[in-house]
Structures are given as C-alpha cells and as structure tokens.
C-alpha cells in the first residue's frame, strides 16, 4: 500500500468541495500515526506520513479557489491544534527509535535535525 491508495479519487473530489474535510482527514491520519507510533508500527507511521503529504498538497491546491468563512476558520484552528498535539507526541515517540537507528548505522545523527 502506498499513500495515494489511502484516499480515492472520489474522496478527493468530495474533500475539495469541503476544505474542512481535508483538515479532518489530515487530523484522522495524524491520530492513526500516533496510534501506530505508540505500538511501534513504524511502517504504518511512514505510510500515513505519505498520505498526509498527499492530503496537504491537495488541500493547498483546493484552498486556492475557496477561502474559509469565519466559523470554518475557527474549526480549522481547533483541528490544527489537535494535529500539532499529535505531531508533538509522535516526535516524542520517534526520538528513541531514531537514536537506535543511528547506533545501528554507526553514525552520530541528531534526531532533532531529522524532523
């Protein structure tokens, strides 16, 4: 499975009509990433990260032609706060994994520089 397989063309069309749908899909993917990181399922974390990248690119394109209203902006702000919280938790969980990877590779990589 690759990132584009996680969202269909029909879903993309529906989301483009509703910009908040993109934010909600990104939030859902970030929550799934956090759950996968908590269980140490790094392959799923990477796949979902790719799905988020696709959704973000699609959101950027869709948002060029449709600005959000006042109420939508307030909801977007709340969704973004949850996404940022999930991202911070994921980073906290991945840092030990990155240190282990660095040791296995025999390199001195600073995980903070990899984010």
| Per-residue confidence (pLDDT) for residue 1, from 0 to 100 | 43
Residues 6+ apart with CB under 8 A from 62: 15, 16, 19, 22
| Burial class, 101, CB count within 10 angstroms (exposed 0-12 / middle 13-18 / buried 19+) | middle
Please give the residue that has the higher pLDDT: either 96 or 29.
29
What are 75-95's pLDDT values in tens digits?
A: 999 999 999 999 999 999 988
pLDDT of amino acid 64? 86
- Mean pLDDT within 20-45: 95
> Which pLDDT value is given to residue 9?
64
């Amino acid at each position: 499975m690759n990132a584009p397989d996680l969202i269909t063309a029909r879903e993309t069309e529906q989301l483009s009509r509703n910009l908040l749908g993109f934010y909600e899909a990104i939030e859902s993917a970030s929550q799934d990433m956090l759950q996968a990181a908590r269980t140490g399922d790094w392959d799923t974390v990477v796949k979902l990260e790719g799905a988020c990248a696709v959704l973000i690119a699609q959101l950027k394109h869709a948002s060029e032609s449709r600005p959000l209203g006042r109420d939508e902006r307030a909801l977007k702000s709340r969704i973004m706060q949850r996404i940022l919280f999930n991202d911070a938790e994921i980073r906290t969980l991945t840092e030990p994994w990155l240190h282990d990877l660095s040791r296995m590779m025999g390199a001195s990589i600073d995980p903070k520089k990899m984010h």
